[in-house]
Chains A and B, each alone.
Chain A
Protein backbone atom coordinates (compact mmCIF):
# COMPACT_ATOMS: atom_id res chain seq x y z
CA UNK A 1 0.00 0.00 0.00
CA UNK A 2 1.14 3.51 -0.71
CA UNK A 3 -0.36 6.89 0.05
CA UNK A 4 1.04 10.40 -0.15
CA UNK A 5 0.20 14.09 -0.19
CA UNK A 6 2.42 15.78 -2.79
CA UNK A 7 3.05 19.22 -4.24
CA UNK A 8 4.51 18.14 -7.58
CA UNK A 9 2.45 16.94 -10.58
CA UNK A 10 1.14 13.37 -10.40
CA UNK A 11 2.36 10.97 -13.09
CA UNK A 12 -0.43 8.41 -13.66
CA UNK A 13 1.94 5.95 -15.33
CA UNK A 14 4.15 6.01 -12.25
CA UNK A 15 1.18 5.40 -9.95
CA UNK A 16 0.37 2.23 -11.92
CA UNK A 17 3.88 0.92 -11.27
CA UNK A 18 3.08 0.93 -7.52
CA UNK A 19 0.40 -1.76 -7.82
CA UNK A 20 -0.02 -5.09 -9.58
CA UNK A 21 0.85 -8.67 -8.74
CA UNK A 22 0.80 -11.98 -10.58
CA UNK A 23 -2.44 -12.98 -8.83
CA UNK A 24 -4.23 -9.79 -9.98
CA UNK A 25 -6.52 -9.92 -13.00
CA UNK A 26 -7.75 -6.34 -12.62
CA UNK A 27 -5.87 -3.04 -12.49
CA UNK A 28 -7.89 0.12 -12.05
CA UNK A 29 -6.77 3.75 -12.16
CA UNK A 30 -9.00 6.64 -11.11
CA UNK A 31 -7.90 10.22 -11.76
CA UNK A 32 -9.55 13.30 -10.28
CA UNK A 33 -8.98 16.17 -12.71
CA UNK A 34 -9.52 19.93 -12.45
CA UNK A 35 -12.40 20.77 -14.79
CA UNK A 36 -13.10 24.00 -16.59
CA UNK A 37 -16.49 24.76 -15.03
CA UNK A 38 -18.46 24.43 -11.81
CA UNK A 39 -22.02 25.47 -11.03
CA UNK A 40 -22.29 27.29 -14.33
CA UNK A 41 -19.10 29.31 -13.87
CA UNK A 42 -16.01 29.07 -16.01
CA UNK A 43 -13.06 27.85 -13.91
CA UNK A 44 -9.47 28.74 -14.77
CA UNK A 45 -7.77 26.71 -12.04
CA UNK A 46 -7.79 25.57 -8.45
CA UNK A 47 -5.70 26.11 -5.34
CA UNK A 48 -5.59 23.18 -2.93
CA UNK A 49 -4.79 23.88 0.71
CA UNK A 50 -4.17 21.13 3.25
CA UNK A 51 -3.30 20.29 6.84
CA UNK A 52 -0.46 18.20 5.54
CA UNK A 53 0.57 16.07 8.53
CA UNK A 54 -3.02 15.16 9.30
CA UNK A 55 -3.97 14.60 5.65
CA UNK A 56 -1.08 12.13 5.30
CA UNK A 57 -2.38 10.18 8.31
CA UNK A 58 -6.04 10.27 7.27
CA UNK A 59 -5.21 9.20 3.70
CA UNK A 60 -3.17 6.30 5.02
CA UNK A 61 -6.10 5.25 7.27
CA UNK A 62 -8.55 5.42 4.36
CA UNK A 63 -6.30 3.23 2.21
CA UNK A 64 -5.92 0.74 5.08
CA UNK A 65 -9.69 0.55 5.49
CA UNK A 66 -10.20 -0.01 1.75
CA UNK A 67 -7.56 -2.72 1.73
CA UNK A 68 -9.14 -4.57 4.66
CA UNK A 69 -12.62 -4.27 3.24
CA UNK A 70 -11.81 -5.20 -0.38
CA UNK A 71 -9.17 -7.79 0.43
CA UNK A 72 -6.32 -6.37 -1.62
CA UNK A 73 -3.28 -4.46 -0.42
CA UNK A 74 -2.18 -3.42 -3.91
CA UNK A 75 -3.41 0.15 -3.57
CA UNK A 76 -1.68 3.46 -4.28
CA UNK A 77 -3.31 6.82 -3.62
CA UNK A 78 -1.75 10.23 -4.17
CA UNK A 79 -3.38 13.62 -3.55
CA UNK A 80 -1.80 16.79 -4.85
CA UNK A 81 -1.95 20.26 -3.27
CA UNK A 82 -0.96 23.75 -4.37
CA UNK A 83 -1.88 25.55 -7.58
CA UNK A 84 -3.42 23.38 -10.32
CA UNK A 85 -4.54 24.30 -13.81
CA UNK A 86 -7.53 22.91 -15.71
CA UNK A 87 -6.76 19.37 -16.87
CA UNK A 88 -4.21 18.65 -14.14
CA UNK A 89 -4.61 15.60 -11.91
CA UNK A 90 -5.51 16.37 -8.29
CA UNK A 91 -5.86 12.80 -7.08
CA UNK A 92 -4.86 9.37 -8.39
CA UNK A 93 -6.14 6.08 -7.00
CA UNK A 94 -4.72 2.84 -8.38
CA UNK A 95 -5.90 -0.57 -7.23
CA UNK A 96 -5.19 -4.07 -8.45
CA UNK A 97 -6.95 -7.22 -7.31
CA UNK A 98 -7.66 -10.77 -8.46
CA UNK A 99 -11.14 -9.77 -9.72
CA UNK A 100 -12.53 -6.43 -10.85
CA UNK A 101 -15.19 -6.02 -8.13
CA UNK A 102 -12.58 -5.66 -5.38
CA UNK A 103 -10.71 -2.98 -7.32
CA UNK A 104 -13.85 -0.98 -8.13
CA UNK A 105 -15.06 -1.23 -4.52
CA UNK A 106 -11.75 -0.10 -3.05
CA UNK A 107 -11.34 2.77 -5.53
CA UNK A 108 -14.87 4.06 -4.94
CA UNK A 109 -14.50 3.80 -1.17
CA UNK A 110 -11.27 5.77 -1.20
CA UNK A 111 -12.53 8.70 -3.30
CA UNK A 112 -15.77 8.95 -1.30
CA UNK A 113 -13.90 8.94 2.03
CA UNK A 114 -11.43 11.53 0.72
CA UNK A 115 -14.36 13.82 0.03
CA UNK A 116 -15.85 13.19 3.48
CA UNK A 117 -12.84 13.56 5.73
CA UNK A 118 -9.47 14.33 4.15
CA UNK A 119 -8.39 17.74 5.51
CA UNK A 120 -8.01 19.34 2.09
CA UNK A 121 -9.72 22.48 0.81
CA UNK A 122 -9.90 23.99 -2.65
CA UNK A 123 -10.39 27.48 -3.92
CA UNK A 124 -11.62 27.94 -7.45
CA UNK A 125 -10.19 30.63 -9.68
CA UNK A 126 -12.80 31.83 -12.14
CA UNK A 127 -12.11 33.22 -15.57
CA UNK A 128 -13.34 36.66 -14.45
CA UNK A 129 -10.59 36.78 -11.82
CA UNK A 130 -12.81 36.06 -8.79
CA UNK A 131 -11.93 33.28 -6.33
CA UNK A 132 -14.11 31.22 -4.02
CA UNK A 133 -13.68 28.32 -1.59
CA UNK A 134 -15.54 25.26 -2.83
CA UNK A 135 -18.34 24.37 -0.46
CA UNK A 136 -17.26 21.27 1.43
CA UNK A 137 -18.55 18.67 3.83
CA UNK A 138 -18.24 18.81 7.58
CA UNK A 139 -16.27 15.73 8.64
CA UNK A 140 -18.41 13.46 10.78
CA UNK A 141 -21.67 15.09 9.68
CA UNK A 142 -24.33 12.92 8.03
CA UNK A 143 -24.17 13.40 4.27
CA UNK A 144 -27.89 12.99 3.60
CA UNK A 145 -28.01 16.16 1.56
CA UNK A 146 -25.34 14.75 -0.72
CA UNK A 147 -27.11 11.50 -1.48
CA UNK A 148 -29.20 12.86 -4.34
CA UNK A 149 -28.27 11.07 -7.56
CA UNK A 150 -25.61 12.91 -9.47
CA UNK A 151 -26.64 14.47 -12.75
CA UNK A 152 -24.43 13.09 -15.52
CA UNK A 153 -22.03 15.73 -16.67
CA UNK A 154 -22.57 15.90 -20.39
CA UNK A 155 -21.81 19.58 -20.94
CA UNK A 156 -19.56 20.07 -23.97
CA UNK A 157 -16.02 21.06 -23.13
CA UNK A 158 -15.38 24.76 -23.48
CA UNK A 159 -12.63 25.65 -25.90
CA UNK A 160 -10.69 27.38 -23.16
CA UNK A 161 -11.77 30.89 -24.09
Chain B
Protein backbone atom coordinates (compact mmCIF):
# COMPACT_ATOMS: atom_id res chain seq x y z
CA UNK B 1 0.00 0.00 0.00
CA UNK B 2 1.07 3.57 -0.67
CA UNK B 3 1.54 5.96 2.25
CA UNK B 4 1.96 9.68 1.63
CA UNK B 5 4.58 10.68 4.18
CA UNK B 6 5.14 14.33 5.14
CA UNK B 7 8.10 15.99 6.83
CA UNK B 8 8.21 19.43 8.39
CA UNK B 9 10.66 21.97 9.81
CA UNK B 10 13.94 20.36 10.92
CA UNK B 11 13.00 16.94 9.49
CA UNK B 12 12.22 18.48 6.13
CA UNK B 13 15.53 20.34 6.08
CA UNK B 14 17.58 17.34 7.15
CA UNK B 15 15.97 15.04 4.59
CA UNK B 16 15.91 17.62 1.83
CA UNK B 17 12.26 16.84 1.04
CA UNK B 18 8.85 17.52 2.52
CA UNK B 19 7.06 14.52 1.05
CA UNK B 20 7.67 10.90 0.07
CA UNK B 21 5.45 8.10 -1.18
CA UNK B 22 6.35 5.01 0.83
CA UNK B 23 5.28 1.51 -0.22
CA UNK B 24 4.51 -0.76 2.74
CA UNK B 25 2.98 -4.24 3.07
CA UNK B 26 -0.63 -4.56 4.23
CA UNK B 27 -0.87 -4.60 8.02
CA UNK B 28 2.01 -2.18 8.50
CA UNK B 29 1.86 0.20 11.47
CA UNK B 30 3.05 3.75 12.04
CA UNK B 31 6.08 2.29 13.75
CA UNK B 32 6.84 0.09 10.71
CA UNK B 33 6.80 3.17 8.52
CA UNK B 34 9.31 4.96 10.74
CA UNK B 35 11.54 1.85 10.81
CA UNK B 36 11.41 1.57 7.02
CA UNK B 37 12.49 5.21 6.70
CA UNK B 38 15.32 4.92 9.23
CA UNK B 39 16.58 1.76 7.51
CA UNK B 40 17.24 3.83 4.39
CA UNK B 41 20.32 5.17 6.17
CA UNK B 42 22.03 8.50 5.53
CA UNK B 43 19.99 11.51 6.59
CA UNK B 44 17.05 9.25 7.49
CA UNK B 45 18.92 7.98 10.54
CA UNK B 46 18.45 11.40 12.16
CA UNK B 47 14.73 10.63 12.50
CA UNK B 48 13.89 9.56 16.05
CA UNK B 49 12.80 5.93 16.48
CA UNK B 50 9.51 7.12 17.98
CA UNK B 51 8.65 10.59 16.68
CA UNK B 52 5.26 12.19 17.21
CA UNK B 53 3.12 11.15 14.25
CA UNK B 54 -0.18 12.30 12.81
CA UNK B 55 -2.27 10.10 10.54
CA UNK B 56 -4.81 11.96 8.43
CA UNK B 57 -4.37 15.13 10.55
CA UNK B 58 -4.73 13.46 13.98
CA UNK B 59 -1.99 12.55 16.46
CA UNK B 60 -1.74 8.78 16.48
CA UNK B 61 -0.16 5.99 18.46
CA UNK B 62 2.91 4.22 16.94
CA UNK B 63 1.05 0.90 17.01
CA UNK B 64 -1.80 2.18 14.79
CA UNK B 65 -2.43 0.25 11.60
CA UNK B 66 -2.03 2.15 8.36
CA UNK B 67 -4.33 1.98 5.33
CA UNK B 68 -3.61 2.54 1.68
CA UNK B 69 -3.68 6.26 0.87
CA UNK B 70 -3.14 7.44 4.44
CA UNK B 71 -1.34 10.75 4.92
CA UNK B 72 1.25 10.37 7.65
CA UNK B 73 3.16 13.34 9.05
CA UNK B 74 6.27 13.05 11.19
CA UNK B 75 5.97 15.89 13.67
CA UNK B 76 9.17 17.39 15.15
CA UNK B 77 8.84 18.91 18.64
CA UNK B 78 6.42 21.80 18.21
CA UNK B 79 7.11 25.45 19.03
CA UNK B 80 4.04 27.54 18.31
CA UNK B 81 3.04 30.78 19.96
B77 adjacent to chain A (CB < 8 Å):
yes
Q: Which residues of A contact B9 (CB under 8 A)?
A: 49, 121, 123, 133
Q: Which residues of A contact B8 (CB under 8 A)?
A: 49-51, 119, 121
Residue ID in chain B nearest A133 by CB atoms: B10
User: How many residues of A sit at the interface, in one of the four size bands?
Assistant: 20 to 34
User: How many residues of B sit at the interface, in one of the four size bands?
Assistant: 10 to 19
* B79 vs chain A, min Cβ distance (A): 4
Q: Which residues of B contact A115 (CB under 8 A)?
A: 78-81
B3 adjacent to chain A (CB < 8 Å):
no
- Bound CA–CA A143/B53 (angstroms): 18
Q: Using a Cβ cutoff of 8 Å, how many contacts connect chains A and B?
A: 83
Contacts A54-B73, A119-B73, A121-B10 known; A137 to B78 CB distance under 8 Å?
yes
Determine chain A's interface SS by DSSP, over half rule.
mixed
Contact B54–A54 (Cβ < 8 Å):
yes
Mark contacts of A18-60 with chain B using CB atoms, 8 A cut-off: 1 yes-contact digit, 0 otherwise.
0000000000000010000000000000001111011101000
Within 8 A of B (CB), among A50-102: 50-51, 53-55, 57, 79, 90-91
- Bound CA–CA A117/B80 (angstroms): 8
4 additional contacts (CB under 8 A) given A119-B54, A139-B77? A32-B81, A54-B73, A115-B80, A138-B52
B interface residues (Cβ-Cβ under 8 A, vs A): 6, 8-10, 12, 51-52, 54, 57-59, 73, 75-81
A interface residues (Cβ-Cβ under 8 A, vs B): 32, 48-51, 53-55, 57, 79, 90-91, 111, 114-123, 133-141
